[in-house]
């Protein structure tokens, strides 16, 4: 059994609390046995709480399917998918292919697509003469 001075115990207990290692499943005794591994674990993101896990799963489901679940009027029913929310995969793929083809037809410079300019420089005669700092009048 390892003996630790009160000062060291206070120091490591304070570090244990400040690093929130209990959220990672560590105990103080485990941290005291190997502080380096505990501090490495503290750099990892904390695991989600149960309510956060449910929300994360819902968000992942929405992101993967592109469909937002809706609830029935009665709270006893689970989520259901409205047929209007269902995206036709063929339609989605056709839109993505059209975007890729439009990008491939753009002019390229060193392999990078260059979008044509929508605004062009005005003719020098149409610019404001007071903005021309090269020619100062009366100086």
Q: Does 19 reside within a domain?
A: yes
Is 13 inside any structural domain?
Answer: yes
- Please check whether residue 109 lies inside any domain of the structure: no
In a domain, 24, yes or no: yes
Structure token digits, residue 85: 């929310």
pLDDT digits (tens, 9 = 90+) for 15-25: 999 988 888 88
Give the burial class of 31: count Cβ atoms within 10 A of its Cβ; 0-12 exposed, 13-18 middle, 19 or more buried: buried
Could you list the residue range(s) of the whole structural domain that residue 11 is in?
6-42
Q: What is the pTM of this model?
A: 0.38
Strands (E), the chain: 70-71, 79-80, 108-109, 112-113
Token pair of 61 as six digits = 């489901």
User: Could you tell me if residue 68 is inside a domain?
Assistant: no
The pLDDT confidence band at residue 42, using thresholds 50, 70 and 90, is confident
Mean pLDDT for the stretch of residues 117-139: 64
Look at residue 107 and tell me if it is in a domain: no
46-91 pLDDT per residue, tens: 888 888 888 888 788 777 665 555 544 445 555 556 666 677 888 8
CA neighbours closer than 13 Å in the CB half-sphere of residue 112: 5
Number of folded domains in the chain? 1
């Amino acid at each position: 059994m390892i003996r630790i001075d009160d000062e060291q115990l206070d120091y490591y207990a304070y570090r244990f609390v400040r690093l929130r290692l209990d959220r990672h499943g560590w105990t103080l005794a485990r941290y005291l046995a190997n502080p380096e591994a505990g501090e490495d674990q503290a750099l990892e993101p904390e695991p989600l709480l149960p309510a956060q896990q449910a929300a994360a799963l819902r968000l992942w489901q929405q992101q993967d399917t592109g469909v937002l679940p809706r609830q029935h009027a009665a709270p006893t029913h689970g989520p259901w998918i409205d047929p209007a929310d269902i995206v036709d995969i063929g339609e989605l793929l056709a839109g993505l292919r059209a975007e890729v083809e439009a990008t491939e037809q753009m002019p390229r410079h060193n392999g990078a697509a260059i979008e044509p300019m929508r605004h062009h420089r005005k003719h020098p005669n149409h610019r404001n003469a007071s903005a021309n700092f090269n020619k100062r009048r009366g100086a």
